[in-house]
């Protein structure tokens, strides 16, 4: 069962002031990305994202148990000593990771605790934009392969319907400049995408972006934006469940 969402519905009100400000974007700019003086603002932004991510995970819990984490807000060796992007991500629960380890075996499944090795839903902010996305890193090859095997077994119709239920979003492959626009995709376009996409080598992203404000003005600063982002994140839940491996959608080795 998947949640019924209405894109035209008003964003659900959220408690507390989670509105984004121009300073949230500026703290991720080239001028401040490596400056520890930007840490307090980035920490505040990170906490907003975490709150939104947890709210989304709670609303999704009726259909899918997801864990919420956030990225680092301070310069560190892990981010190249520059914080150009902050994100909250919703990924499979510990119980689902245990089930997947049983399928993959101890050697292949040992690194599942790293979020990027799992398909995940993402709410992010950069200097240029806010973003909501479903992301499969190249190291999340088992989720990518699960998707490819499912489409091979069931045909393109199911995946095509999932993507075309998301007008305004775009399907992207790795760092390629090309994109596949959801809402207007034809089977031939997805066949082209799958002919290029190789799990383990390429990233797969389905994303929607809202431009950063200019001069303290812009839609990204509106009081309705936090609720909108939370709603949009949940719109991706059916696609996440279609894509990612689970005990109910196991197309990895069994071809069920």
- What's the rounded Cα separation, in Å, for the pair 143 and 147? 6
The answer to whether position 140 is within a domain reads: yes
The answer to whether position 11 is within a domain reads: no
The answer to whether position 61 is within a domain reads: yes
**CA nearest 4: which of 185, 234, 197, 248?**
234
The answer to whether position 249 is within a domain reads: no
pLDDT at res. 115: 78
- Helix, strand or coil, per DSSP, at residue 159: helix
- What's the rounded Cα separation, in Å, for the pair 72 and 238? 28
- In tens, the pLDDT along 191-202 reads 999 999 999 999
The answer to whether position 13 is within a domain reads: no
pLDDT at res. 7: 35
Q: Is the pLDDT of residue 1 over 70?
A: no
**Residue 68: CATH number of its domain:** 3.30.930.20
Radius of gyration of the chain (CA): 18
Structural domain of 98: 22-243
The answer to whether position 146 is within a domain reads: yes
Q: What is the mean predicted confidence (pLDDT) over 152-168?
A: 97
pLDDT at res. 109: 66
The answer to whether position 180 is within a domain reads: yes
Domain count, the chain: 1
Residue-averaged pLDDT of the chain: 89
- Helix, strand or coil, per DSSP, at residue 60: helix
The answer to whether position 4 is within a domain reads: no
pLDDT > 90 fraction of the chain, expressed in percent and rounded:
74
- What's the rounded Cα separation, in Å, for the pair 221 and 149? 41
Q: Residue 84 — pLDDT band, cuts 50, 70, 90?
A: very high
pTM value is 0.88
């Amino acid at each position: 069962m998947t949640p019924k969402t209405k894109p035209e519905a008003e964003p659900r009100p959220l408690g507390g002031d989670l509105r984004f400000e121009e300073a949230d974007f500026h703290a991720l700019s080239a001028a401040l990305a490596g400056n520890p003086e930007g840490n307090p603002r980035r920490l505040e932004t990170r906490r907003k994202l975490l709150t939104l991510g947890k709210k989304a995970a709670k609303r999704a819990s009726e259909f899918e148990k997801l864990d919420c984490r956030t990225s680092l807000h301070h310069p560190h060796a892990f981010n190249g000593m520059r914080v150009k992007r902050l994100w909250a991500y919703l990924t499979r629960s510990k119980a689902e990771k245990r089930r997947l380890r049983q399928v993959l075996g101890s050697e292949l499944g040992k690194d599942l605790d790293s979020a990027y090795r799992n398909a995940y839903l993402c709410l992010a902010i950069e200097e240029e934009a806010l973003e909501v996305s479903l992301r499969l890193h190249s190291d999340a090859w088992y989720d990518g392969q699960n998707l490819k095997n499912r489409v091979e077994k069931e045909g393109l119709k199911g995946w095509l319907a999932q993507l075309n239920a998301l007008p305004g979003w775009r399907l992207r492959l790795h760092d390629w400049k090309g994109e596949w626009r959801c809402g207007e995709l034809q089977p031939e376009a997805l066949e082209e995408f799958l002919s290029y996409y190789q799990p383990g080598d390429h990233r797969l992203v389905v994303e929607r972006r809202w431009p950063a404000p200019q001069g303290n003005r812009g839609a990204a600063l509106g009081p309705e934006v936090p609720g909108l982002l939370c709603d949009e994140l949940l719109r991706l839940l059916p696609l996440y469940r279609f894509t990612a491996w689970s005990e109910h959608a196991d197309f990895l080795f069994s071809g069920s």
